[in-house]
Amino acid sequence: MTSARSRARGFSLMETVIAIGVLAVLLTAFLAVFGPAATGIRKTLSSQEADRLASTLERELQTLRSGQSPSSGFDKGFIWIKEAVQTNGTLFVYQYRGNPDASKARTDGTMEPYTASDGVSGKDYIVQTMVRRRDDALFEADLKALEGRVFAVKATQLIFNSGALKPGTAGQIVDPKGGSTVSSSDAYPEAVISFAADFFEVVTTSPAYLKQGGAFDPAKQFQSTPMFTRNLAVSR
């Protein structure tokens, strides 16, 4: 007769180790199969989001807002493309919750951030796409009502090289035909500046990290591979 003690016997140490080993092998195989698929899905979703934000970037580079110092929308685009690789000139593209109350609109024409923890989209707040430089004081305010991701954008002029448009040197604007460096928008001889916009997803969206003087380093960020690249243009 089998005793109650033998019937209640548990797993031995060796059996437990073997079971853990088998589980580890199965998890590794699962990640090998489904990991790339999950990454692909994430990139696809990010690409769709970047497509929406790319038009915002192109439009903002040509929109001269109240209080901004450039002489024209084209001059603004010229400066922002040229200075996009500088620490305080970094361009950030994002969405934030804006207060639709027209009486609270800011002097540059944008909505005040809606920072309440509750609220109904379309009624209490409207999700706005926005582009700001890092040295814009309103950028930090927008981050308090952030909706989704933040992209840092490296803008590089596209110039003709061997019969095709190719990125030039980031931080420089040159005469597309002569190749000489142009110091101002007035001296730029063409009506259009074509540029490549490299989108880099910023993992940490803390205002303290991204604001002017924060730990975010655009030079380090731009050394990595961009998640997306869109060819855009600004015109006079």
Residue-wise pLDDT for 78-119, tens only, equals: 999 999 999 999 999 999 999 999 888 999 999 999 999 888
**pLDDT at site 7:** 53
Contacts of 50 (CB under 8 A, 6+ apart): 151, 199, 227, 228, 230
**Which string of DSSP letters, residue by residue, matches 166-200?**
EE--TT--B-TTT--B--SSTT--SSEEEEEEEEE
What are 142-194's pLDDT values in tens digits? Answer: 999 999 889 999 999 998 877 778 889 999 999 987 778 999 999 999 999 99
**In this structure, are residues 100 and 127 in contact, taking their beta carbons and an 8 Å threshold?**
no
Q: What is the DSSP letter of 155?
A: E
What residues does each domain of the chain span?
57-235
* pTM of the complete model: 0.79
d(CA 39, CA 42): 5
**pLDDT at site 194:** 95
Q: Is the pLDDT of residue 222 over 80?
A: yes
Q: Is the pLDDT of residue 37 over 60?
A: no
| Tokens encoding 45 | 């979703």
